[in-house]
């Protein structure tokens, strides 16, 4: 409440443990700043009463007191009869409400940026930077000034990376660039300057003054020298701001440290996505290294129990996205995001990572690490371990063991391995995205194989290079990508690579699973089964091992045995859906489970296609159309998605599926396209001849994503008596 004593106004606040009051008196700011810790210690003594006296410095020229940029001063401990310095409180802004520049308008009160009247999405930190730059147009705003305003002294964040990211997002929102700036100019090693003309509505900005607070050592107030009084509205605002802050500090209990250190209280984190790390190296050709570190970080975090991690394929589409972080998190069904950067300078590598609580877009954790390039994988695993410890506390011994790096013998082998994997991923992107071409896909695949072979030459004992080489040849990606092109002509290279990998490390689970894929079904049934059994023997709690063994049983028509393994996998990994893979699971149950798990996972476009197939088969045609449109648009096929909608509107479900088959056939004329999707479209369209023609193509290419399911996929039932189908099944080697 407000009280007036001897012509002075006081703010009085008396909760159960505090009583605050104050007239205002000036004091040097430096002196007040020096004893913040003493104030913090004193405020925790709940039984002590406090007294504050506030004064503001008048505008000597005009005779009108302005709002202080800082309230500081002396706190009086009335019980102990002594004074204690008080920490500074931030200014009450009097800047113009609306500021125009170019086509943009900033509403500082609402915290909104608009362009031609349309709201532009801008996060909190870039918005604060813009506000500070607009408060000083044409002037240099130093990095230190920005840090003090946006990242308080005790905030736990990597300032360099945070400032870079925030300024980059601001430039993206303004369609500005650092090279040819129209609005925000960078002054190297100094700060930033707003260089465009600014219209602040002809309202003059308040000059920033500083004031400090002091009171005597008793409740009886000393009479200060005569001075002009502050305007009551400004005193009320200052007093209320102070009271609210002190009340929060006194009564927040467990949040006291969070308020002081800028840390955010968040609920337990059980889901996370690692966004593609930025390449901050001066050489754009180092993009492969940033991508490689992203994949390694995803792989390591995936080893942590009770933590669901979005797949690499799911996050790829956000590499150059301008979406806000909360929106990305919603689309990926996660509550935490990791974003950061990689910078390589010579033989040194620096990785910066931020852990962000997405619903509030708040930093939980941020650190930078630097090591020699030859230790890059170990460095990345250090980052992963730090993130896990921030989320969960300590890791289990098993998780710590899974983080042990598989480091090549020399840095050149690591460099070639990461670049090989990067080009293999680029080949996949060129395959599924509309912008990609057959030539680009083939060239990227060839580069990937070449670099992986160089890595093996550099270090013949580096097992991951052999596995990556074999997986890319077989079209069986080990990192969550669906529908990779197989290369049967390189089958011998895959066999040699897998044999070498197992000779080097017979306990490697991935090597056994890939070898089983290579052997089945054309070499019989016993030898592949031995590898599945060995995986389960080596790691009985490995859900993917049981799931692979289940699919092996399904492929042989031993569905009951397969279901037992599906159930074991489901029990070991409840966050993923394994039961739906069994041919014994009814379509309605599979669709219900698919929907449930897509709500709590990070689905890729291929998952939308699969769910659309189930919906179409169930007669839910509108839902199928929506899912297929979503899958198409995610891969850049916007015109084709529009064609699907027009076909359904004109001719219903049969017109829709015929259009899908026609679109896929057209794509496949220009480049390789997923054979399973093409075959499914022709099957649903009732095109028997087209279905069998594409099945023969899949056989010639030895596309395991199609061939291994000839026995277990019920949709082949109407074809089993057809001589063409029977011949293909016989050549593949599947049982009748």
Structure tokens at 227: 């001075």
DSSP line for 641-654: HHHHHHHHHHHHHH
Residues 209, 56: contact at Cβ < 8 Å? yes
Check whether 630 has a pLDDT greater than 60: yes
Q: Where are the domains of the chain?
A: 2-93+209-260, 98-194, 271-405
CA distance linking residue 681 with residue 564, whole number of Å: 31
Q: Answer for the pair 502, 511: CB distance below 8 angstroms, yes or no.
A: yes
In this structure, what token pair is assigned to residue 661?
């088959």
Q: Which helix (H) or strand (E) holds 411?
A: helix 411-432
pLDDT digits (tens, 9 = 90+) for 386-440: 888 887 765 566 655 555 556 676 788 888 999 999 999 899 889 888 889 999 9
**Ramachandran class of 192: left when φ > 0, alpha when ψ lies in -120 to 50, beta otherwise:** beta
Least reliable range by pLDDT among 149-158, 420-429, 710-719? 149-158
Composition of the chain by helix, strand, coil, percent to 5: 50, 15, 35
Asked whether this chain's domains 98-194 and 271-405 adopt the same fold, the reply is no
Tell me the pLDDT tens digit for each residue of 478-497. Answer: 555 556 889 989 999 999 99
CATH assignment, 98-194: 1.10.10.10
Instruction: DSSP letter for 274, please.
Output: E
The pLDDT score that the predictor gives to residue 219 is 34
- Alpha carbons 383 and 390: distance in angstroms, whole number: 11
Which pLDDT score, from 0 to 100, does residue 479 have? 57
Confidence of residue 44 (pLDDT cuts 50, 70, 90): very low
At residue 694, the pLDDT reads 97
76 contacts 66 by C-beta, under 8 angstroms: no
Greatest mean pLDDT among 250-254, 285-289, 668-672 lies in 668-672
Other beta carbons within 10 angstroms of residue 200's beta carbon come to: 19
Residue 439's φ and ψ, nearest 5 degrees, are -60, -45
Q: Residue 74 phi/psi, 5° resolution? A: -110, 135
Distance CA(378)–CA(390), nearest Å, equals 18
Element (H, E) at 295: helix 287-301
Cα–Cα dist 256/253, whole Å: 6
> Could you tell me the two tokens for 539?
């790691």
- DSSP classification of residue 284: G
pLDDT over threshold 50, residue 82: no
Topology classification of domain 271-405? Rossmann fold (3.40.50)
41 forms bridges with which residues in the sheet? Answer: none
Contacts of 420 (CB under 8 A, 6+ apart): 447, 448, 449, 450, 451, 452, 454, 455, 465, 468, 469
pLDDT of 385 above 80: yes
Identify the top-confidence range among 55-69, 182-196, 408-422, 646-660.
646-660
- Burial (Cβ within 10 Å: 0-12, 13-18, ≥19) of residue 714: exposed
Instruction: Return the pLDDT at 595.
Output: 93
Note the pLDDT of residue 710: 93
DSSP character string of 468-491: HHHHHHHT--SSS---PPP-GGGH
pLDDT for residue 96: 55
Tokens representing 453 are: 């072979």
- Residue 657 pLDDT: 97
Band (242; pLDDT cuts 50, 70, 90): low
Looking at per-residue confidence, does 233 or 675 come out higher? 675
- Joined together, the tokens standing for residue 685 give 């369209």
Residue with tokens 């736990």: 156
Query: Hey, what's the torsion of the CAs at 484, 490, 496, 497, to 10 degrees?
Result: -40
Kindly tell me the burial class for residue 524, based on how many C-beta atoms sit within 10 Å of its own C-beta (0-12, 13-18, 19 or more): exposed
Confidence of residue 171 (pLDDT cuts 50, 70, 90): confident
Mean pLDDT on 261-282: 78
Contacts of 666 (CB under 8 A, 6+ apart): none
Question: What is the rounded average pLDDT of the residues 276-283?
Answer: 83
**C-beta separation of 214 from 73 below 8 A:** yes
Instruction: Give the span between the Cα atoms of 679 and 713, in whole angstroms.
Output: 12
CB 648 within 8 A of CB 655: yes
Backbone angles phi, psi at 578, to 5 degrees: -105, -30
Average pLDDT, the chain: 77
H/E element, 497? helix 491-504
728: its two tokens: 């293909």
Whole-number Å distance between alpha carbons of 227 and 54: 13
Percent of the chain with pLDDT over 90: 35
Secondary structure of residue 85 in the 3-state scheme? strand
Segment (H or E) for 195: none
Global pTM reads: 0.62
Two tokens at 471? 């997986």
**How far apart are alpha carbons 715 and 712 in whole angstroms?**
9
* Confidence tier at 241 by pLDDT (50, 70, 90): low
CA dist 578 and 715 (Å) reads: 19
CA distances from 354 to 106, 337, 339, 367, 521 (A): 28, 8, 5, 7, 46
Tell me how far apart the alpha carbons of residues 586 and 37 are, in angstroms, rounded to a whole number.
Answer: 66
């Amino acid at each position: 409440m407000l009280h007036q004593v001897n012509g002075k106004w006081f703010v009085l606040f008396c909760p159960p443990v505090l009583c605050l009051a104050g007239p205002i008196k000036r004091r040097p700011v430096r002196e007040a700043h020096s004893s913040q810790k003493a104030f913090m210690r004193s405020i925790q003594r709940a039984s002590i009463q406090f007294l504050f006296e506030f004064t503001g410095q008048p505008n000597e020229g005009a005779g009108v007191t302005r709002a202080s940029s800082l309230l500081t001063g002396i706190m009086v401990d009335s019980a102990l009869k002594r004074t204690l310095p008080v920490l500074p409180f931030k200014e009450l802004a009097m800047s113009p409400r609306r500021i125009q520049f170019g086509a943009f308008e900033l509403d500082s009160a609402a915290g909104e940026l608009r362009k031609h009247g349309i709201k532009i999405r801008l996060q909190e930190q870039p918005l604060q930077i813009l506000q500070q730059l607009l408060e000083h147009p044409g002037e240099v705003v130093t990095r230190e000034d920005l840090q003090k305003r946006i990242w308080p002294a005790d905030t736990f964040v990597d300032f360099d990376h945070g400032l870079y990211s925030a300024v980059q997002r601001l430039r993206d929102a303004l369609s500005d660039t650092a090279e040819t700036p129209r609005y925000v100019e960078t002054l190297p090693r100094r700060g930033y300057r707003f260089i465009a003309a600014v219209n602040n509505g002809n309202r003059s900005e308040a000059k920033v003054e500083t004031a400090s607070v002091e009171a005597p050592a008793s409740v009886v107030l000393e009479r200060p020298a005569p001075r002009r009084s502050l305007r009551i509205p400004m005193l009320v605002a200052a007093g209320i701001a102070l009271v609210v802050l002190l009340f929060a500090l006194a009564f927040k209990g467990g949040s006291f440290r969070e308020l002081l250190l800028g840390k955010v209280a968040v609920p337990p984190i059980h889901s996370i996505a690692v966004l593609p790390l930025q390449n901050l190296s001066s050489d754009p050709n180092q993009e492969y290294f940033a991508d490689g570190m992203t994949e390694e970080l995803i792989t390591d975090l995936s080893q942590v129990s009770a933590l669901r991690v979005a797949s690499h394929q799911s996050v790829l589409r956000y590499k150059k996205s301008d979406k806000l972080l909360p929106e990305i998190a919603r689309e990926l069904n996660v509550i935490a995001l990791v974003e950061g950067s990689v910078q390589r300078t010579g033989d040194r590598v620096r990785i910066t990572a931020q852990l962000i609580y997405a619903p509030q877009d708040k930093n939980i954790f941020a650190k930078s690490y630097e090591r020699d390039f030859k230790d890059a994988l170990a460095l990345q695993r250090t980052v992963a371990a730090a993130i896990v410890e921030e989320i969960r506390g300590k890791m289990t011994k098993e998780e710590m063991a899974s983080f042990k790096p598989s480091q090549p013998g020399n840095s050149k082998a690591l460099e070639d391995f990461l670049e090989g994997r990067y080009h293999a991923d680029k080949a996949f992107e060129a395959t599924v995205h509309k912008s990609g071409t057959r030539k680009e896909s083939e060239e990227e695949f060839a580069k990937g194989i070449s670099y992986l072979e160089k890595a093996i030459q550099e270090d013949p004992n580096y097992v991951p290079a052999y596995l990556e080489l074999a997986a890319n040849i077989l079209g069986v990606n080990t990192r969550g990508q669906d529908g990779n092109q197989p290369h049967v002509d390189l089958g011998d290279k895959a066999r040699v690579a897998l044999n070498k990998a197992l000779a080097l490390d017979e306990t490697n689970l991935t090597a056994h699973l890939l070898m089983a894929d290579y052997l089945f079904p054309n070499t019989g049934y016993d030898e592949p089964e031995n590898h599945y059994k060995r995986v389960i023997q080596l790691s009985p709690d490995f859900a993917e091992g049981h799931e692979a063994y289940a699919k092996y049983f399904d492929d042989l028509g031993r569905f009951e045995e397969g279901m037992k393994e599906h159930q074991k996998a489901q029990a070991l990994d409840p966050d993923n859906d394994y039961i739906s893979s069994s041919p014994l699971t009814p379509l309605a149950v599979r669709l219900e489970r698919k929907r449930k798990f897509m709500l709590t996972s990070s689905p890729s476009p291929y998952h939308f296609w699969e769910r659309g197939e189930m919906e179409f088969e169930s007669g839910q045609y509108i839902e199928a159309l929506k899912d297929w449109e979503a899958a198409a648009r995610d891969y850049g096929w916007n015109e084709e998605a529009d064609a699907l909608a027009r076909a359904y509107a004109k001719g219903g479900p049969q017109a829709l599926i015929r259009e899908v088959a026609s679109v896929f056939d057209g794509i496949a004329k220009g480049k390789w396209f997923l054979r399973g999707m093409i075959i499914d479209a022709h099957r649903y369209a009732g095109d028997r001849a087209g279905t069998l023609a594409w099945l023969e193509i899949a056989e010639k290419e030895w596309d395991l994503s199609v061939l291994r399911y000839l026995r277990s996929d019920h949709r082949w039932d109407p074809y089993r008596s057809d001589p063409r189908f029977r011949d293909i099944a016989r050549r593949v080697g599947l049982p009748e």
